[in-house]
């Protein structure tokens, strides 16, 4: 798949972009989320979780940034796993085992789930086996965001 670009005008628009993203990746995958602090990486994951809950009439879990706990798992169908590597220096493959990355990867692969990794550049990028990068940026208009998926 080539590059797909989205402009997210506001939070209402975010739901439409999430729906389009899920059409492109209906079988899940592992996605690196990059972009400056405060651009909306965790908001993106929250919107994905909200869409999974809506589709399956489930209970909305509390979605928070995993900056301090490193990993959040949301009981959605399909599963959504959320990592934040911002505070980490993952120098070895073993360090990914220690934080539960490979368990989440395997679960997502078997159940066609989604793994989102904020700040993937803090780890060995080849080892992460990413399906795509989601690069977030601030748009030209206040409140607007841009998303490039490659």
Which domains can be identified in the chain, with CATH numbers?
Answer: 4-149 (3.40.50.300)
> Which of the four pLDDT bands, split at 50, 70 and 90, describes residue 8?
very high
Preceding peptide of 22 cis, ω within 30°: no
**Dihedral (CA of 37, 39, 45, 46) sign:** positive
Q: What is the pLDDT of residues 124-150, one digit of tens each?
A: 777 889 999 999 999 999 999 999 999
Instruction: Name which residue leads in pLDDT, 61 or 51.
Output: 51
Whole-prediction pTM: 0.93
Share of the chain above pLDDT 90, in %: 73
5 touches 147 (CB < 8 A): yes
């Amino acid at each position: 798949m080539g590059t797909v670009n989205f402009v997210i005008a506001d939070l209402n628009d975010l739901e439409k972009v999430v729906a389009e993203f899920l059409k492109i990746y209906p079988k899940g995958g592992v996605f690196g989320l990059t972009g400056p602090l405060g651009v909306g990486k965790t908001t993106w994951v929250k919107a994905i979780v909200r869409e999974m809950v809506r589709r399956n009439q489930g209970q909305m879990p509390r979605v928070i940034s995993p900056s301090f706990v490193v990993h959040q798992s949301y009981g959605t169908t399909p599963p959504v796993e959320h990592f934040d590597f911002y505070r980490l220096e993952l120098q070895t493959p073993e360090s990914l085992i220690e934080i539960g990355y490979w368990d989440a990867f395997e679960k997502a692969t078997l159940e066609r789930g989604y793994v989102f990794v904020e700040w993937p550049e803090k780890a060995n990028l080849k080892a992460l086996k990413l399906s795509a990068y989601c690069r977030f940026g601030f748009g030209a208009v206040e409140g607007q965001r841009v998303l490039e998926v490659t």
